[in-house]
Amino acid sequence: MGTTQLESVPEPKYWHLKTVLSEALDSEFTVGEILPNERDLAARFGVARATLRQALEQLELEGRLQRRRGVGTTVAPPRVGVSVGTEQHAWPGAAGDAWQPVDSDLSAPPAVVAGILGTGRGEAVHTVRRSRTSHGQPVAAELLYIPAASVPDLTAIDAPSGPARARAVLRELQRLDLERQENAVELGSARADDAKELDRLPGAPVLVVTTRYFTADRVAAVSVATYRADTCRLTFGETGGVQIHEGPQRRAS
């Protein structure tokens, strides 16, 4: 690999470096290949390591790179298209749902979620944990908050914990008539628990999709789903399923 020095440019140095690095990823590296360490990369491009880190973080955010525990920074594969809310009139857990139930318990939701649900301060709700995978890799984790008023007959079900309890909560929820659902998407950083479940480092970029489910003019449930922003491209509409969106071709050096 030759040495490339950055010339004076009007844009931030890290942004120009990101473009140079992106071109190098296309021409010199293959998917899954580990990048040289920061010291060597900084020396090659004649920049401070702080500038290099900014460029690498931006490329990770754009899905070109992945930071992996015990491995380092690798070239990312093309993003996976993950459909979100394709069934506009189906409760979570309905037929065809790609999510897998993990557990369920009674706990107080975050204050923001409690405000959306209209529950009292500290009032416990059913919290269902679900996960989603694609091609054998974790792509998303979800917390689904359901107030007791939405599933009044749940107490008659003998499923104290685990996936069975989660499925029981979802079955009861499906007894309601779903009027509509609303989605909101935000960019965020993975918290420690999300990062562990998604096999990423804390602080990795994530896409947070908050969905409100309405029945009888009230919010009957709230879903907060965290998707890996480095590998996921969210798709909306009626296409359904999981699609692979081809990115720039990665060529071997």
Distance, CA of 108 to CA of 120 (rounded, Å): 9
**Residue % of the chain over a pLDDT of 70:** 83
* Domains assigned to the chain: 13-75 (1.10.10.10), 80-244 (3.40.1410.10)
DSSP 237: S
**Residue 66 has which token pair?**
């992945």
pLDDT digits over 128-186, tens only? 999 998 877 788 999 999 999 999 887 666 666 789 899 999 999 999 999 998 888 88
Q: Strands 218-228 and 137-146, how do they pair?
A: antiparallel
More confident: 239 or 67: 67
Looking at residue 41, what is its pLDDT?
92
CA atoms 29, 33, 37, 38: torsion sign:
positive
Q: Which residues pair with 81 in a beta bridge?
A: 233, 243
Instruction: Read off the pLDDT band of 100 (50, 70, 90).
Output: very high
Mean pLDDT, range 12-31, rounded to an integer: 89
